[in-house]
Amino acid sequence: MGTMRAPVRVSRDDLPDRVTIWEVGARDGLQNEAAVLDTATKVELVDRLSAAGLPVVEATSFVRPDRVPQLADAAEVMAAITRAPGVRYPVLVPNLRGLDAAIASGAREIAVFASATDSFARRNLGRPMAEQMAMFTPVVSTARERGLPVRGYVSMCFGDPWEGAVDAGQVVDVCAALLAAGCTSLSLGDTIGVATPGQARDLVARLVRSGVALESIGVHFHDTYGQALANTFAALECGVRTVDSSAGGLGGCPFAESATGNLATEDLVWMLDGLGVETGVDLAALVATSVWMGERLGRAPASRVVQALGG
C-alpha cells in the first residue's frame, strides 16, 4: 500500500491565500521540555527550521537563567544562528534588562508576554493583572524607539486553570492596552488548550469590532483537548493570517503533565497545503527536522503528520 506524501489540494476562496507560520518550537517548545539541550543543537534546530522555509523562527528568550534554564544560553544561540535572508528571528524579553541583552545579541524583533487573567499574571509575572502594563510599557516603548516591532503575547485568552472561563471582554481590554503601549501585533494564546471553534471566532470578531486590525492578530492554540487545528481553521475563516505552531509539537503543556502542548507545525502545514493556502514551508524538510529533534530528546514527536510520514 502506497503512502500519500502530500494532501490533495482543494482551495477555498473564503480563506487567506497565504498564511505566515510563526514557528515557536525553539523558544516556547524547548522552554517547556524537561531536557536541557546543548547550544549547538538549539542552533541547528533554528537553522533547520529556517532552511525548511519557515518565515518566522522565534529563536530564544532572554529570561533569567534560574527561571528558565532551558534557554540560559540565549546570547550564544543568537550569536551562532545562520540568519537566512528574509527570515525573522524574534525573541521573547520580560523586562528592560532582557531587552538590552536581546538588542546586544542582534535581535531585530521582540515579544512580550501578558496575561488575560489575574491568577496567571500573579503566578507568571509576580504581580496582579492590573499592574502588568507597568512592567511592559517601558520595554515596548524602548523597543519601538529603537525601531523594533513588538509582539504582545496574551496568555489564558480562552480559559484559565485557576479561574475557569475567561471573559472575552477582559481579553479585548488586555489586547487594547498592549496595542496602546506600542505593540505592533498580538498573539491570542489558548494556554491550556480548552478553546473550541465558536469561541475562537467570537474572540477574533470582538477584537475586530473593537478596532483591532485583522492583520495584527495571530493565534496560538494548544492541542490539550485535540482542538488546536479546528480552532485555527475557525480563525482562518475569520481572516486571520498568522498562526503560531511548534515543529513536531515540541513543548508539553506545563499545567497538565500528560497533555500535548503546542499545535504541531507539520499538522498545520498538511492542512494548509490541502486547502491551497501558501506557507512557503517544505513539509519533507520539516518532518526530517522533527524526527532529528525527537532523537535528540529521546522520544517520538507528538505531531500526527510526523508519525505518518517520518517512519
> Active-site residues: which are they?
253
- Per-residue three-class SS string for the chain: CCCCCCCCCCCCCCCCCECEEEECHHHHHHHCCCCCCCHHHHHHHHHHHHHCCCCEECCEECCCCCCCHHHCCHHHHHHHCCCCCCCECCEECCCHHHHHHHHHCCCCCEEEEEECCHHHHHHHHCCCHHHHHHHHHHHHHHHHHCCCCEEEEEECCCCECCCECCCHHHHHHHHHHHHHHCCCEEEEEECCCCCCHHHHHHHHHHHHHCCCCHHHEEEEEECCCCCHHHHHHHHHHCCCCEEEEEHHHCCCCCCCCCCCCECEHHHHHHHHHHCCCECCCCHHHHHHHHHHHHHHHCCCCCCHHHHHHCC
Q: HSE, CB side, 13 Å, CA atoms: give it for residue 62.
A: 26
Q: Do 62 and 98 touch, CB atoms closer than 8 A? A: yes
Q: Tell me how crowded residue 274 is: count the other CB atoms within 10 A of its CB.
A: 14
